[in-house]
Amino acid sequence: MANGLFGTNIPVSIDNISECVDIFYSYSPTYNSTDVESAQFTKLDASNLRNAISDEENNSVVEGMYNLKLPMDIFGKKGIYTIYIKPKEIPATIMDVSTLRDFSNVRGIVFDTTQLPSILQTNNSMVGYRVIYLNEDGTRSSDVRIITSNNSCEPSTSTSTNANSNSYSYIYNENGSLMFATVTPSMPLSFKATSTPFIGRATQKVYLVNTLFEPVRINLEMTENDADTIATLIDGTQLRDLNRGIITTFNDKNQIVSQHEVSTLKETETGTPQFEIKEKKVGNIDFTQTITDKID
C-alpha cells in the first residue's frame, strides 16, 4: 500500500466571477481551413457567466461550477464556435519599487489605489495575483511574480537607503491612497546575496492576473438538427402518399418533421423510368398529410 498526495485542487465558487474573467469567442461557418484561419476572436460580456445554483440548502451555489449563457443573437448561426474563458488581465502602472520604512529588508511594488478596480482596493485583495511585466515596446516580459500581501500605505518622510527604490520608503496606513504589495520571489538567495530578483521599476506597465483557475477552451458546433431529430428522420413514422408522390415523416407526437416530394425521371424516347428524385419541401408543407389518413 502506497502513501501519497492524491489531489490538492479544491473547487470553489467566486461570488464576483464576472469581474474575474474575460470571455472571447470566434465563429467559423465550417471546419474548412480557410474559414478557421480567418476567424477572429470577439469579446463576450462576462456577465453571461454565472454561479450554478443547487436546489438544496436554500438555493446554495454548486462549488466550482458555473453556467455560461449563450445569447442567440450571437450563437444562433449554424457553424463552429470557439469560446475562450481566461482570468481577467487588469492593466496597472507601478508607482514605485521600494521598501517599508520600519522593515528595510521587505521590498515591494507600490500602486495608486485609485487606478485599481474596486475588487483590488482592499487589504490583501491581491494575494495570489500574478504580476506580468510589460517591456517598453509593449511586449510581455518572461518575468512573473506572485503577490503575497497588499496593504494601504503612504510614503514616509525619511528617504530609503535601497538603491533600487525612488526617494521614499513606505509605512502602512489604512487611510493611505497607495497600495504596497509584496511579491515572491523578492529577496536575494541566502547563498548569493547579490542576486536581488527583479520585481519591477517605477512607471512600468504591468498586468495583474488572478490565479483562481486555469484558462478554459470550449468548442461548440451549432447544427440545423439535433440528435433526436436525426434519429426521427432515419427511423420515424412515415406516410407515403402514392397518388401525389409525397413522403411525410412524423415525430412521436405525430407532428410533421420533414416532407419530401418524390418524382420519376424517365427516358425521353422510351419513357422508361431512369431516376427517382426526392426533393425536400420547404415553405410549402402539405399539412393535410396525417397518419390518420384512410383510403375511401
CA 112 – CA 120 distance, rounded (Å):
11
Which DSSP helix (H) or strand (E) runs through 75?
A: helix 72-75
Taking alpha carbons only, the member of 259, 261, 254, 255 closest to residue 279 is: 261
Contact 121, 144 (CB under 8 A): no
pTM score: 0.74
Q: What is the total residue count of the chain?
A: 296
Q: How many CA atoms lie within 13 A of 160 on its CB side?
A: 25
The predicted-structure confidence for 152-177, as pLDDT tens digits, reads as follows 999 986 554 454 444 689 999 999 99
Note the pLDDT of residue 175: 93
Note the pLDDT of residue 151: 96
How far, CA to CA in Å, does 241 sit from each of 236, 261, 266, 284, 291?
Answer: 16, 9, 20, 16, 10
Note the pLDDT of residue 83: 96
Note the pLDDT of residue 191: 61
Residue holding cell 504589495? 181
* Tens-binned pLDDT, residue by residue, of the chain (296 aa): 445 555 566 777 788 888 899 999 999 998 888 888 888 999 999 999 998 888 766 667 888 889 999 999 999 999 999 999 999 999 999 999 999 998 988 999 999 999 999 999 999 999 999 999 999 999 999 889 999 999 999 998 655 445 444 468 999 999 999 999 999 887 766 666 667 788 999 999 999 999 888 899 999 999 888 888 889 888 889 999 988 889 999 998 889 999 999 988 888 888 888 888 989 988 889 988 887 655 55
CA 40 – CA 24 distance, rounded (Å):
10
3-state SS assignment for residue 229: helix
Note the pLDDT of residue 188: 67
Cell reading at 9: 485542487
The predicted-structure confidence for 95-149, as pLDDT tens digits, reads as follows 999 999 989 889 999 999 999 999 999 999 999 999 999 999 999 998 899 999 9
